Amino acid sequence: MLGSLIKKEILEHLMSLRFAIACVLCLVVILCSVFVRARDFVQVLDDQRQETKMANQWLDDLREPWALGWSGRPIAVPRLANPMKVFVRGVRSDNGGAVNVSTRTRLEPSYRPVSSPAVVLFPPIDLVTFVGVILSLMALVFGYDAVCGEKERGTLRLMLSYSVPRRTVLLAKWIGGYVTLIVPFLLAAAVGIVVVMIQPDVSLDGGQWARLGAILGLATVYVAAVYSLAVYVSVLTRKAATSVMVLLSLWVVLVLVVPNLAPHASGVLHPIPTAGEMEKQREAARKEIDQRTRALTKAWDEQNGFGDKWWEGFPWGKWPEMERVYARWIFQTDMNSKARAETFEAWERIDAPRRRQLDQQVTLTRWIGRVSPFSCFAYASTELADAGVLYDRRLDDQLRAYQRDLTAYAWRECLFMEHKGLEARDKDYPDWRKVREAGIPRFAYVPPAAGDYLRVAAIDGGILAGMAVLFFFLATVTFLRYDVR
Amino acid sequence: MFLHLVRKELLEHLMSLRFAIACVLCLVVILCSVFVRTQDYVQVLEDYRLDEQASRGRLQSVSPWQILWGGRYYVPAYLAPNPMKVFVRGVESQNGQAVNVTVTEPFRPGHTGLVNPATVLFPTMDLVSFVGIILSLIAVVFGYDAVCGEKERGTLRLMLSYSVPRHTVLLAKWVGGGIMLLRPVLLTGLAGSVLAITQREMSLSGEQWVRLAAVAGLGALYITAIFTMAMYVSTLTRNSATSVMLLLSGWVVLVLIVPNVAPHVARMIAPVSPAGDGERARLAKEREVIEKGRSREQAIKTKTIAAMVLAGSNEQKRMQAQINAQIEMMDYTLELYDELYDAWDRIAAPQRREMDRQIALTRWIARASPFACFAYASSEIADAGASHRRRYYDQLRGYQEDLLQYGHDEAVRILRRNLEGETTARRTAGAGPDGKPVPAFRYVSPAAREYLEMAAVDTGILAVLTVLFFLLTYLTFLRYDVR
């Protein structure tokens, strides 16, 4: 009996206008979206290869370490273009790009050319937005009249006059409606993936395929939760017009309002100091350390007979007088090396409480946002695509560690070269590239282990599955007492 | 008769669930959005004031030589937060901005600091998103069964059995539905405005109020267009289930898909050359200018040495020769930078033209969607659109030239004072009785007329859409089978 009922539901949906519209929308939007985003990715990858080549060339050609240490010339560290972002936009609208890492200043995004402002006003639709917004609306349209619509047409009364349990009728309705909705989506997604894969330079590794599969799995659970909600509201109401009205309002609240308000609600509940305040503290710390360094240098100068404007009239290039200058340079380099390390430590100390508070705020945002199934789906998908909040945090931590390593390396090498200069005396400095003990450290992003991704997405996946089961259970309980007249 | 029919429509809507839901949604979302965005604005304004004050203090101890030859030394150019962005987010998600301007490089945006990344994943809802997305959906819900719903219930047949012309019935439905749709919007919009201005530090000038009213008027026009479209679909269909299905699909396409797809289509039709080529040309020109500068510097040095040799042991004349050489070098630096800036502009011009063409094409493609018309026009009226960004960058470019001229003039002034024998004059920019402080960047907004010109096309399209849909509805309704 269940099979026959499911078949009836599927046939009914297949012949309806809504199914045709769902098919066209899924196919057109998913194909357009992945095609455009895959082309963007290829362009970004191309740009990034050139930029990385130029940056590596610059590092390879560097003949002395002072450009890194004393001048603090920034190294553009590329953020690797992520092919998963073809499907999931994530918390950063751009893919790739670079971060400037200097031994003197804070991390800052590298200069990017100005893009069309229309893209900012209307961000491109990715798979998450399509499923979260458009497919969820389709789920409501598929389910809003599942029960009350049949009641209005009088066919529900007829059906229940046969010896068929109510729970079987509802289960068949759920399965029939859900299958007709999810199959066109999965087919369109499969075609979209094929379109992406035939683009040059786009390839996913085994782990990324598994994560893409997990995102699609999550999408099916999300659609199941929304569809169950639609069926539940349909059982709660007596007219399809009322049901569609209630569902559209719920959709607006759950898909558009709650995810947008959650960050602000958490901002009010758990405020954090503004970036401006932190910047002032950092600037004050830097000034204090710099002043202390200058005072120590001045004291050293006085002890060693270097007065004001000592360089005027100094016998430059004459030895052994030059030994004194080298001793001064070595002292200065050593002092600066310590000052820079101390500055970064001070900045870390200042940033740490705010970063902790920001983490707490982000966690609170996620928990408030979890009232909305769309938030659960979006957060979990972005994390699975390595394009979410945790990725941002992980990258920032790794870049900070790299900056500390680079700073220590640059100043160590400056000191090393000062000693080499002293040894060489009136000969030229040796070529740093030939004498240095180790090459310039390069940054490599370390992604988390596969288990970490699953752990992060497990809560949201669980909540979505729980919502699907709960709404269906509530629908069943309500339907058992439903007045079919 | 017409008024009776309007009254009937008003009462019907008033007692419906959709009206209650519209009221609650308008009240909750508009008030929350305005409150949150006002708080953000106040915070941004406070930060901006503190930063600008600190920057002014820092600039008091800068020397003109640092401005001219300081390499990565920059002067922050602050864009004051725009109170209109409380209502209209525009093309930049942040309000207010600091751009680091140096005379030696094209300007680069400043660091924005840590923000909650969830706000990037789900951008804050402003008045434009609310009206454009949520309210348009409510307009669809208000209009989808206007005609076919009455037909299904049998009341349309009854109504038309009386001696009432069809156009009167249709007009009454349109007026009644429109009033009931706009009423909660206008009332809560008003409440939102009151809430915003009661917040400390939040104030709009008279001209900004007028522009806000223009945005509200545009919102009303947009909603009317969508409501009229809903009524049209309602007269095209015979049952409300089909009508709602068609309208929701149309809504998804017009509100969610077309505006998002338009930039990408425009990018394929009118691509912009990659930035890398321009960047390489810029760097090559810079190297050429540096080489030129070096050879000129060498020539000036040789001339100065000759002058110093001629001066013999006369310290006064030796110093004069040195200072004259420095002034000559300053003048030459100015010339070189002028040449460099011209080259930057020349190199950037084709890309800028291409980008302008792409933006214009995007707007024309997106105009297939009433939401895009409304969003573009509102952003321009709020001075937060694409034209604002272009104007801001152009003014920053002008500021960079002002800064260069200032650095040159101040350095020459100090050197002349040294030449006049005032050797103790401080070498700080702006020091001394005739010194001028470092110029601050001030963004100049366009004239009121320009805002109207920028929004005219989109407003016209929305008005035409409304009239067109109403005419189509009227023509279809005249032949509508009410049985």
How far off is chain B from A52, nearest CA to CA, in Å? 12
Residues of B in contact with A17 (CB under 8 A): 242, 245-246
* pLDDT tens track for B180-211: 888 887 888 788 888 888 877 788 888 888 89
Which residue of B19, B151, B249 is the best one to mutate when testing the A interface, meaning the one whose CB has the most A CBs within 10 A?
B249
Does residue A273 carry a pLDDT above 80? no
Tokens of A290: 């710099």
Span of A191-205, A300-314, B152-166, B367-381 with lowest mean pLDDT: A300-314
Does residue A468 carry a pLDDT above 90? yes
Residues of B in contact with A388 (CB under 8 A): 117, 121
Contact A358 B116 (CB under 8 A): yes
pLDDT attached to residue A116: 58
Q: B242: part of which helix (H) or strand (E)? A: helix B240-251
Contact B249 A240 (CB under 8 A): no
Does residue A114 carry a pLDDT above 60? no
Mean pLDDT of A313-327: 79
Contact B47 A275 (CB under 8 A): yes
Count chain A–chain B contacts defined by CB atoms under 8 A: 194
How far off is chain A from B288, nearest CA to CA, in Å? 19
pLDDT attached to residue B426: 52
pLDDT attached to residue A64: 83
Contact A91 B93 (CB under 8 A): no
Residues of B in contact with A51 (CB under 8 A): 276
pLDDT attached to residue B113: 45
Contact B21 A261 (CB under 8 A): no
Considering only the beta carbons, identify the residue of A17, A249, A354 that sits closest to B25: A249
Mean pLDDT of B23-31: 85
Q: Which residue has the tokens 């349109």?
A: B174
Q: Is residue A271 within 8 angstroms of chain B, CB to CB?
A: no
pLDDT attached to residue B226: 95
pLDDT band at B123 (very low <50, low <70, confident <90, very high): low
Does residue A403 carry a pLDDT above 70? yes
pLDDT attached to residue B114: 45
pLDDT attached to residue B274: 72
pLDDT attached to residue B111: 45
Predicted complex ipTM exceeds 0.85: no
Q: Is residue A242 within 8 angstroms of chain B, CB to CB?
A: yes
pLDDT attached to residue B303: 83
Which residue of A19, A264, A367, A396 is the best one to mutate when testing the B interface, meaning the one whose CB has the most B CBs within 10 A?
A264
pLDDT band at A115 (very low <50, low <70, confident <90, very high): low
Interface of B with A in 75-134 (CB under 8 A): 90-93, 108-109, 111-125, 133-134
* pLDDT tens track for A132-188: 999 999 999 999 988 998 888 888 888 888 888 898 999 999 999 999 999 999 999
Contact B116 A111 (CB under 8 A): no
Higher pLDDT among residues A65 and A179, named by residue: A179
Using an 8 Å Cβ cutoff, are B280 and A113 in contact? no
* pLDDT tens track for B399-442: 988 888 888 888 888 888 877 766 554 566 666 666 778 888 88
Contact B47 A392 (CB under 8 A): no
In sequence order, what DSSP letters do the residues of B6-19 get, joined into one string? HHHHHHHHHTSHHH
Interface of B with A in 189-228 (CB under 8 A): none
pLDDT attached to residue A183: 93
Interface of A with B in 40-59 (CB under 8 A): 43, 47, 50-51
Percent pLDDT > 70 in chain B is 92
Tokens of A374: 């769309």
Does residue B112 carry a pLDDT above 50? no
pLDDT attached to residue A230: 96
Higher pLDDT among residues A113 and B308, named by residue: B308
Span of A307-321, A337-351, B228-242, B388-402 with lowest mean pLDDT: A307-321
pTM of the model: 0.81
Note if the bond before A320 is cis, omega within 30 degrees: yes
Q: Is residue A103 within 8 angstroms of chain B, CB to CB?
A: no
pLDDT attached to residue B320: 81
pLDDT band at B468 (very low <50, low <70, confident <90, very high): very high
Does residue B76 carry a pLDDT above 90? no
Mean pLDDT of A226-233: 96
Dist. CA B211–CA B205, nearest whole Å: 10
Span of A324-338, B122-136, B217-231 with lowest mean pLDDT: B122-136
Strand order in the sheet with B97-101: B75-79, B97-101, B108-109
Percent pLDDT > 90 in chain B is 16
Interface of B with A in 362-421 (CB under 8 A): 362-363, 366, 372, 375-376, 379, 385-386, 389, 393
Does residue B99 carry a pLDDT above 80? no
Which residue of B39, B50, B114, B258 is the best one to mutate when testing the A interface, meaning the one whose CB has the most A CBs within 10 A?
B114
* pLDDT tens track for B454-467: 889 999 999 999 99
Contact B117 A266 (CB under 8 A): no
Dist. CA B31–CA A401, nearest whole Å: 43
Q: Is residue A85 within 8 angstroms of chain B, CB to CB?
A: no
Q: Is residue A365 within 8 angstroms of chain B, CB to CB?
A: yes
Considering only the beta carbons, identify the residue of A145, A248, A264 that sits closest to B141: A248
pLDDT attached to residue B97: 72
Does residue A119 carry a pLDDT above 70? no
SS3 per-residue string spanning chain A: CHHHHHHHHHHHHHCCHHHHHHHHHHHHHHHHHHHHHHHHHHHHHHHHHHHHHHHHHHHHHCCCHHHCCCCCCCEEEECCCCHHHHCCCCCCCCCCCEEEECCCCCCEECCCCCCCHHHHHCCCCCHHHHHHHHHHHHHHHHHCCCCHHHHHHCHHHHHHCCCCCHHHHHHHHHHHHHHHHHHHHHHHHHHHHHHHHCCCCCCCCHHHHHHHHHHHHHHHHHHHHHHHHHHHHHHHCCCHHHHHHHHHHHHHHHHHHHHHHHHHHHHHHCCCCCHHHHHHHHHHHHHHHHHHHHHHHHHHHHHCCCCCCCCCCCCCCCCCHHHHHHHHHHHHHHHHHHHHHHHHHHHHHHHHHHHHHHHHHHHHHHHHHCCCHHHHHHHHHHHHCCCCHHHHHHHHHHHHHHHHHHHHHHHHHHHHHHHHHHHHCCCCCCCHHHHCCCCCCCCCCCCCCHHHHHHHHHHHHHHHHHHHHHHHHHHHHHHHCCCCC
Considering only the beta carbons, identify the residue of A268, A276, A388 that sits closest to B50: A276
Higher pLDDT among residues B120 and B159, named by residue: B159
Does residue A113 carry a pLDDT above 70? no
Dist. CA B461–CA B455, nearest whole Å: 10
pLDDT attached to residue A177: 93
pLDDT band at B109 (very low <50, low <70, confident <90, very high): low
Q: B476: part of which helix (H) or strand (E)? A: helix B448-478
Interface of A with B in 1-30 (CB under 8 A): 17-18, 21, 25, 29
